[in-house]
Structure 1
Amino acid sequence: MSNQTTGRFMPTGWDESVIEDIDGEGETKNGTYYPSRGVTTAKVIFDYTGDIAGTGVATYLFAYRDSKAGHADIIGYERFTGTIDGQEGSSVFRHTGSYADGAVSAHVEVLPGLGTDGLADLTGAADVSMAGAPPEGGYEFTLTRD
């Protein structure tokens, strides 16, 4: 495998629900309630294409500090199953990031010891961002291996 591999990803499923609503205030967008201050959980499904191809299933925690202003801290774990540079298997990614003004920025790290088959020894990280409508083919994901 080379040091960097690039693919594209697209969220294809999103199910978010409130764990804690601190003030009992918030707003509903597209049928989902977001507390002004509180904690939610979301299960998100990603489809990957390119030299990183497969499916990721992520579970996130969002800590909203002010949903009307659009600010949240994000942590989560994603199990990716598919191929990276032709190596087939699965691995787990840890996401840490933030949501601000309609855009998500996150650092994604491969967690050692949780990979299988051809991805058992995979290491590395990626920085991703999602803003606005998805571009043609999805958002870019470039994995840089250690």
Structure 2
Amino acid sequence: MTRRAIGTFTTAFEPLTSDDDFIGRLRVRKTIDGDLTGEGLAEMMSVGTAVEGSAGYVAIDRITGTLDGRAGSFVLQHFGLMDRGAGTLTVRVVPDSGTGELTGLTGSFAIVNEGGVHSYTFDYELPTGSAST
């Protein structure tokens, strides 16, 4: 059964070195509140183009915390594109990345940034016996 977690998170960005001036790298630290609570640590690579409003990024994001009363960690993979100002973002749980009480977690994580406030909607599933009823 698919469940839904909602909440907010804050981010702090730290530039990382890159051997290519075209590719940007960042470390992203998150503090997550709501139905999912915990910390996130991600590494992100991004690139802009000569066309205004066109860019892309990928990130691997390890989340450690509590989801629906279950403790553990899992990894999110981000894939974002801007096509002349029109954005798409896919964020999914990496298969078999869940640990502890989050083993077997699957799902999609939607992010909204309005006025500098990040919110999330996390549609997820846990194997039978793992999620609370």
- 1:74 aligned residue: 57
- 1:86 aligned residue: 69
- Kindly tell me the number of residue pairs found equivalent between the two proteins: 125
2:41 equivalent to 1:57:
yes
Structure 2 unmatched ranges of 5 or more: 126-133
Closer, same or farther in 2 for the Cα pair 1:109/1:7, shift >3 Å? same
Q: Give the structure-1-normalised TM-score.
A: 0.73
Q: Quote how far apart the aligned CAs of 1:121 are.
A: 1.3
Q: Quote how far apart the aligned CAs of 1:15 are.
A: 2.2
Q: Quote how far apart the aligned CAs of 1:49 are.
A: 0.5
Q: Which amino acid aligns with 1:45?
A: R
Distance 2:110 2:14 in 1: 21
Maintained 8 Å contact 2:14/2:26 = yes
Structure 1 unmatched ranges of 5 or more: 22-37
Q: Which amino acid aligns with 2:58?
A: I
Q: Give the structure-2-normalised TM-score.
A: 0.79
- Percent of aligned positions that are identical: 28
Say what the alpha-carbon RMSD is for the aligned residues.
Answer: 2.6
Q: Quote how far apart the aligned CAs of 1:14 are.
A: 2.9
Q: Which amino acid aligns with 1:98?
A: L
